[in-house]
Amino acid sequence: MIEHDIIVVGGGLAGSRAAVAVAQKYPHLSIGMVSKVHPIRSHSIAAQGGMAAALGNVDANDDWLTHAFDTVKGSDYLADQNAVEILTKSARATIIDLEHMGVLFSRDGAGKIAQRPFGGHTNSRVCYAADKTGHAILHELVSGLIRYGTKLYQEWYVMQLIYEEGEVKGLVAYCIETGEVEVMRSKAVLFATGGYGRVFNTTSNDFASTGDGLCLTAIEGLPLQDMEFVQFHPTGLYPVGVLISEAVRGEGAYLINDLGDRFMANYPISANKMELAPRDITSRNIDREIRAGRGINGGSYVHLDVRHLGREKIISRIPFAREEGMRLLGIDCIDHPLPVRPTVHYSMGGIPTNIDCQAIGLDNHVISGFFAAGECACVSVHGANRLGANSLLECVVFGQRAGEKIAEYAIDRAMPNLNPTVYKDAATAKIKALLDRTGSTRISHLRQELQDLTTAHCGIYRDAANLSNGLEQIQLLKHRYEHDLHIDDRGTVFNLELTAALELQSLLTVGEIIMASALQRQESRGAHSRSDYPHRDDRNFLQHTLGYLKDREIKITSRPVDLSLTQVDLDRFTPQERKY
């Protein structure tokens, strides 16, 4: 059995920042970091546009309260305002701290950190490293892991959370390289396992974003919060879905339909902000244009046009977007517009936590020994719709906080008691059972069917009939997963088919919880648009959804939203109609 005081699962921004925080403050605590990909290959590396912080370098009057207000309004008033306060108040110090670590933020003419506008943010407050911001930050954090000697289990896949007697005591993981299964015991576990974009068929997320941490949490009967809120980013490159960063619109790009119109002007909700309206609104507008036959040549995409920005600005500010267009479609955006349509991008929901990143259960009690941070967590700073550039900020602010809080928790605790043999045998048997399957359905086919199903039944617009039907069909897919799976590779060494089979279980579980949560929320709020309930309903639904598994069935309950910032600024933060 492997043992560490603290185990962090995930080497992206949240997990790496947490591990560095523990090592910096409590060097005598032993930390193990488990990651199914090398930490540098975590999805955080792909983050492009930037990280929000009210530094006031461009708009001198910017302040944390304005940032907090934009975040709460962007969330369609579902964010927990106590968490938003921590996020936005900590932003300035967080940027400076990253810079001291060595992150090379882009500069303005006077040598200050440059800041660009982003959707839903009142002021220009997004700090960036060209359009490769995640790359710049993650490299520094992973260097920190190496500097502090964090024990890395890279390319190890976590299969189970060990949750006994109301306490998390460790996990079960298998080494992808050797096939060896190990029980890892610890005083506390932090999940920083990222998002689930791969539940859908068109996504900006990497192949590893399969929602494993969410599935492992749900399987233990613990709740997942606000899973119906799936963010569609307006500008995925058509047809592949790869992201063209919001930085491109931040720098002044136009969205154009087949008539050559900047159509954002035609919708009252976005007429003022135009291309810089928040993502939920912009995605819906693009979807409406396409449905109305005003996609380019009547097709399923519109144009993102940057030609008017000029060559120099394109090359210096958004070089990666240009590279992506050329690499994937052979289109140079200096001369031609890029074809785009909405793509699944971000998961607002996740493992519910308090502001100290401790996971919480159904009746709001803290789950001993279990913490979560980053995209897999729902602390909830994004509510029903995340503003661009607030996720990197969340990962670093709450990653650091998670590191500090988990260390404080673990410092005086004894190692929990557990019987490793039971867990090791069960995991070994599970792998053997998967490898022994002799059915006829290939993993890639079942996965594609699931992705097409969730996209068709739980896309930008939803309704009860479609969601109910989708849920029935997921049951059939789950049945085939259990009884008719076919695996060719029966080896133990680097068996990526086996990993894919485990990930498919995550996708099925998470997909089902997303749909069940969406069915239950009979209103439209943020990213969740019900065509049968087109309005927001604060009286019945100004609350977080909790979805959990009981006897393999999904149950739904709720918990209240924290509106505590209203005490500071009563009128501004009280829920009201959202217009831009």
Ligand X SMILES: Cc1cc2nc3c(=O)[nH]c(=O)nc-3n(C[C@H](O)[C@H](O)[C@H](O)COP(=O)(O)OP(=O)(O)OC[C@H]3O[C@@H](n4cnc5c(N)ncnc54)[C@H](O)[C@@H]3O)c2cc1C
The residues assigned a catalytic role are 279
Asked whether 320 and 131 are in contact (CB, 8 A), the reply is yes
Residue 75 interacts with ligand X (CB under 6 A): yes or no: no
Query: Which of 198, 294 has the CB closer to ligand X?
Result: 198
| 287, two tokens | 């979807």
DSSP 27-49: TTS-EEEEESS-GGGSGGGG--S
**Shortest-Cβ-distance residue relative to ligand X:** 12
The least CB distance from residue 65 to ligand X, in Å, is 20
Residue 53 interacts with ligand X (CB under 6 A): yes or no: no
Query: Which of 510, 519 has the CB closer to ligand X?
Result: 510
Q: Is the peptide bond before 339 cis (omega within 30 degrees of 0)?
A: no
Binding-site member from 75, 90, 186, 193 for ligand X (CB under 6 A): 193
Residue 403 interacts with ligand X (CB under 6 A): yes or no: no
For residue 23, CA distances in Å to 6, 16, 17, 146 come to: 11, 11, 10, 11
CA distance 263 to 510: 35
Binding-site member from 26, 69, 157, 200 for ligand X (CB under 6 A): 157
CA distance 257 to 251: 19
Strands 553-560 and 543-550 turn out to be: antiparallel
Residues across the chain? 580
Binding-site member from 8, 21, 23, 37 for ligand X (CB under 6 A): 37
CA distance 270 to 264: 6
Residue 450 interacts with ligand X (CB under 6 A): yes or no: no
Binding-site member from 304, 360, 389, 485 for ligand X (CB under 6 A): 389
Identify residues 95-134 at the interface with ligand X (CB under 6 A).
133-134
The least CB distance from residue 11 to ligand X, in Å, is 4
The least CB distance from residue 130 to ligand X, in Å, is 11
CA distance 145 to 140: 9
Query: Which of 123, 204 has the CB closer to ligand X?
Result: 204
Residue 4 interacts with ligand X (CB under 6 A): yes or no: no
Compute the radius of gyration of the chain from its Cα atoms: 23
Residues 329-358, one symbol each (x = binds ligand X by CB under 6 A, - = not), give: -----------------x------------
Residue 382 interacts with ligand X (CB under 6 A): yes or no: no
Residue 295 interacts with ligand X (CB under 6 A): yes or no: no
Residue 325 interacts with ligand X (CB under 6 A): yes or no: no
Burial tier of 179 (Cβ tally within 10 Å: 0-12, 13-18, 19+): middle
Q: What values do phi and psi take at 525, rounded to 5?
A: -150, 130
Q: Kind and range of the H or E element at 295?
A: none
Binding-site member from 213, 234, 325, 350 for ligand X (CB under 6 A): 213
The least CB distance from residue 272 to ligand X, in Å, is 23
Q: What values do phi and psi take at 462, rounded to 5?
A: -130, 160
Query: Which of 95, 467 has the CB closer to ligand X?
Result: 95
Contact residues for ligand X, defined by CB under 6 A: 9-15, 34-37, 39, 42-44, 46-51, 133-134, 157-158, 192-195, 204-205, 208-209, 212-213, 243, 346, 374-376, 389-392, 395
